[in-house]
Structure 1
Amino acid sequence: MAKIVVISPAPIKGSGGVRTILNYAHALMRNGHEVTVSFLADGKPIGTNVSQLVEAYFGISGLHCGQFPFGLHNADLAVATRWDTPPMIRRHFGGKMVHLIQDIEGWFNPVGDAFLYAENNFLFNSSFITLGHWLAKRQQKQYGVNSYTMDFCYDDEVYSLSQPYAERPKRVCFIYQPEKPRRCAQLGLEALGIFKSFHPDYEIVLYGSDAPAYLWYPTVNLGIVSPKELNDLYNASRAGLCISASNPSRIPFEMMGCGLPVVDIYRANNLHDYKSNQLLLAHQTPESIAHALSSLVVDEQLGARLSRLGHESVSGLSLQHEMQQFAAFVEKVANGEQPQPRTDMAPRYRSAPVIAPAYEVDRVRAFCEDQTREFQSEKATISQASTSVEPSAALFATAKLTSTKPAGFIWDMVTLEVDGSLQLNSHQATATTAVLPHALPAGTLSAIAVVRLAHPKASPTEFAMAAVPAIDDEDIIRRPDEQIWSSPMGSGWTEVTPGADVLLQLQLPEPSAVPLDLHIAVRLPEGSPQDFGWCRWVNIIHLQAHQ
């Protein structure tokens, strides 16, 4: 086991950032490593009883703690956790270093010395671990360095769905933190003012800061509240607003864990960690944000659908999953392994931005389109691509039914059409699913499918796919776990309407070590008629890491 030193900002009571770092350190300790946390004084003496302080403030025990550079002299590996820590570490330590990146911290400063120093601190010899996929893609594009990537997760022991969406009061909540410019407090308040003028019966609740908000419309300002109180608030609201101008916040994932539909802004930083039909992303004007919120409360079916799909999309993304990812990546660095280059440079969020009618002009559409092209110069290796009817037909011909109506298997629910596409017939009872055995070879990073509804009168239908380790006996039919579609191995559910082809993307956490079966599924939203439910899978390709 390795001797690992984690460099952390000073232990401030209630600090969420420090708590996350300490949770990461504790995950490494649970894996059997000798872990030391070396705290930066940040202008104040820390004292000698730091371990007791950590236990009192954060309830985490067993960590060896001291003031920087405590523990570095005999370490095997050091973890930098803030933009200014890599050069500090290199003054005392020449071994392996992991740089944990949770945001583009240079953006927290005006463009000047601090901004440039923050960028320069990515130049030190280190291995990157990023919170989220957008950051990993930026590091690869800007510095030519690959990163290990953690999924955004949330504490599912605190945040959970307890109040049915249809029974919730007319309330919208907003994370109001004027001391954090990236949370765009003014933009959010203006959007809520517009929303309130159209929906005066809705209560507006602010939280997240003790700073007062002097407004022209009534609000309830809860200030800083506990996680339990936030869970209660999310379960008693119809819509949640969280604006992220840099790396996404963890807050929307906590909201979705409570079945709360979320609105954020449509910018490049938000297109790679959110998925389509998981939430609404609006153009960055107050009017467009207000329009998105209004659409959730006016269209009750939309609100209910995003409540359900958002909640399903974060299933399995517990904090324990994130901690395990971090510990596993640090262990890979300690063992001399390197992350694979990203080839999934296209956005995960493929839904159109919400744009207020007043801003439906060419320059706004051009701006939004530009947000999708941040990494367009990055090239992917595409292999075994079914770019014509023949490969698609060959792949689809192996399909085996895995789930139909509860009464039993009905094989004509899955058919190979004359045009080479695979058709799954949707119905109201449960999802129709099929498996494509060994469709994804070892080394696969992602899969992309083109799907459509074949009949113009079909009801809107949800499509999903998931990767599952292949089984040796191809004659075995198994039904996948219901949670797989929204897990890290699934694409999440995407609603498709008649009239247009839709791209469905499945992004794996890392290249697969073994061949995978590809499970595909369709389902009808509750209450939708099943007539003409001809759901076509037209084409599937997979992307692999460079050999």
Structure 2
Amino acid sequence: MARAQLNRCRRQIKRLVLDEGPRALTDKIRTKLSDAIRPKTFLWHVFPSDVLQADLSKPSNPTIPVLSDGEPIELNWIVGPAGPGSGGHTTIFRTLKYLQAAGYRNRVYFYDPYGGDEKYYQHVARSHYGLTCDIEDISLGMRDAHGVIATGWPTAYAAFNAPCAGKRFYFIQDYEPYFYPVGTNSALAETTYRMGFHGITAGRWLSDKLAREFAMETDWFPFGCDTARYRFDANSQRSGIAFYARAGTPRRAVEIGLLALELFAKRQPDIELHLFGQPMGSLPFKFTNHGLVSPDKLNQIYNKCFAGLSLSLTNVSLVPHEMLACGCLPIVNDADHNRIVLENANVRYAPLLPHALADALEAVVTMPDFDLASLRAAESVKSTSWATAGAAVDRALRQAIRASHKPFKCDNPIHPATKASCGLVLTRSP
């Protein structure tokens, strides 16, 4: 038996090297080694004690301070720690700073079940994200506020359990149960949508989904775009295709995108391929490997490209808007969660299939009126700003806090405590 196993391994190694090269063998060995040394215990993204404390059969009923005219709104933001460059944190802190400029008083509380260094994350928040508000230690408890805002599913448990005053809000940028295989993490994430918080979502798709499936009361804000940073360069010579290739984020379907580029490269070998998002290894086609790049560098890449491939299996990313601003036509997988949020006639949609995506890319690089289409795409997002998004969040917070002090009346004899049964619309536009 031992000899048979040894011979089997030799044949596998030989076939792997002949078919895919020495690099494939190295990758296989590294994968096996990482599997062997990976801890076999479950990695908690939330403190188990917070899960135990969160008894949804006994929902919390926090006091909500009355908001007087002219009084600044106080908010406690519960945020997971992150290093520089986090897109989710960029949106959270951009919104926080908009509200601060509008007169809000903000406090940030980092929620970190991984045991990180809080002083480091405070430094990152101030030096990289430009926060000037108070940053306090959540382990010492949170101060009373008009609103307490969870910003990711683990932080929702902390918001649910906290004894401080404040209406509970949930700043939701994606449907986080989809981030995991069906299991403990996906179930814990889904549970947070049943905690009775008021959702404020990135785009209408999430708002509609959460209202429909969990009866959440929700508002939504439109995606913004930093058009001062991402802008159309009329003098740029376009010669390529851009692809947001971040393999460490499964919901971006990078592997399918790479197959599409492999097909496209065979059809259009003279078109340059620009990959960004993370360093990439060897691929069966020629490409420029940009890795993780700054926004200014990304603006240059977009302006060199006819089109960009941006795939998402959950809520759409910010990339398509950035591409549009630079006159780079986005190719996006055809799905409701993308169409509903983008709502832009200059986005090209294709089924999430390698051949269909390659066809869409080829159609752009061969179109006779590309210059006009490129300019039209850039013009379509000129008025898209994060100030509009911030104003929508501001309006939603003020309305929800004020409404919490109005008595609720429902005449439905079957479901007297359910707003949906009274015919109220749970989802509002900004």
Alignment match, 1:368: none
Q: Distance in 2 between matches of 1:285 and 1:198?
A: 16
Alignment match, 2:384: 317
Q: Distance in 2 between matches of 1:3 and 1:35?
A: 6
Q: Distance in 1 between matches of 2:124 and 2:313?
A: 34
**Bigger fraction of residues in helix:** 2
Tell me the amino acid that sits aligned with residue 386 of structure 2.
L
Alignment match, 2:75: 4
Secondary structure of 2:91's counterpart equals helix
Alignment match, 2:138: 68
Alignment match, 1:214: 282
Tell me the amino acid that sits aligned with residue 140 of structure 1.
A
Q: Distance in 2 between matches of 1:50 and 1:132?
A: 28
On the 8 A contact 2:276/2:293 being kept in 1, the answer is: yes
Alignment match, 1:40: 111
* Offset of residue 51 of structure 1: 5.1
On the 8 A contact 2:238/2:303 being kept in 1, the answer is: no
Alignment match, 1:91: 161
Query: Which residues of structure 1 form unaligned runs of 5+?
Result: 339-377, 382-442, 446-507, 511-547
Secondary structure of 2:143's counterpart equals helix
Q: How does 1:45-64 map to 2 (within 5 A)?
A: 45-47=116-118, 52-60=123-131, 62-64=132-134
Q: Distance in 2 between matches of 1:270 and 1:324?
A: 23
- Higher mean alpha-carbon deviation, 65-74 vs 178-187, is at 65-74
- Higher mean alpha-carbon deviation, 260-269 vs 101-110, is at 260-269
The 1:180–1:11 alpha-carbon spacing in structure 2 relative to 1, beyond 3 Å, is closer
Residue 143 (structure 1) aligned with residue 214 (structure 2):
yes
Tell me the amino acid that sits aligned with residue 315 of structure 2.
N
Residue 266 (structure 1) aligned with residue 334 (structure 2):
yes
- Percent of residue pairs bearing the same amino acid type: 25
Q: Distance in 2 between matches of 1:146 and 1:309?
A: 37
Q: Distance in 1 between matches of 2:140 and 2:392?
A: 26
Q: How does 1:270-281 map to 2 (within 5 A)?
A: 270-275=338-343, 277-281=345-349
Secondary structure of 1:84's counterpart equals helix
* Offset of residue 295 of structure 1: 0.5
Q: How does 1:459-470 map to 2 (within 5 A)?
A: none
* Offset of residue 48 of structure 1: 5.2
Q: Distance in 1 between matches of 2:121 and 2:305?
A: 40
Q: Provide TM-score, normalisation by structure 1.
A: 0.59
Q: How does 1:63-142 map to 2 (within 5 A)?
A: 63-69=133-139, 72-93=142-163, 95-142=166-213
Tell me the amino acid that sits aligned with residue 203 of structure 1.
E
Q: Provide TM-score, normalisation by structure 2.
A: 0.74
Secondary structure of 1:159's counterpart equals coil
Q: How does 1:77-476 map to 2 (within 5 A)?
A: 77-93=147-163, 95-163=166-234, 168-210=237-279, 212-275=280-343, 277-301=345-369, 303-336=370-403
Deviations 1:271-319 (A, max 9, x none): 2122352211101110000000000011122x33442332232121112
Secondary structure of 2:403's counterpart equals coil
Q: Highest relative contact order (Cα 8 Å, sep 6+), 1 or 2?
A: 2
* Offset of residue 158 of structure 1: 0.6
Deviations 1:460-517 (A, max 9, x none): xxxxxxxxxxxxxxxxxxxxxxxxxxxxxxxxxxxxxxxxxxxxxxxx944xxxxxxx
On the 8 A contact 1:261/1:310 being kept in 2, the answer is: yes
On the 8 A contact 2:275/2:289 being kept in 1, the answer is: yes
Secondary structure of 1:194's counterpart equals helix
Tell me the amino acid that sits aligned with residue 388 of structure 2.
H
Number of residue-to-residue matches in the alignment: 340
Tell me the amino acid that sits aligned with residue 219 of structure 2.
Y
On the 8 A contact 2:259/2:354 being kept in 1, the answer is: yes
Q: Distance in 1 between matches of 2:245 and 2:301?
A: 14
Tell me the amino acid that sits aligned with residue 200 of structure 1.
P
Deviations 1:137-174 (A, max 9, x none): 1112112234211111111111111135xx63320010
Alignment match, 2:43: none
Deviations 1:389-446 (A, max 9, x none): xxxxxxxxxxxxxxxxxxxxxxxxxxxxxxxxxxxxxxxxxxxxxxxxxxxxxx9x9x
On the 8 A contact 1:265/1:281 being kept in 2, the answer is: yes
* Offset of residue 71 of structure 1: 6.2
Q: Distance in 1 between matches of 2:270 and 2:121?
A: 50
Deviations 1:30-72 (A, max 9, x none): 2222210111124234345865542222233x21002325662
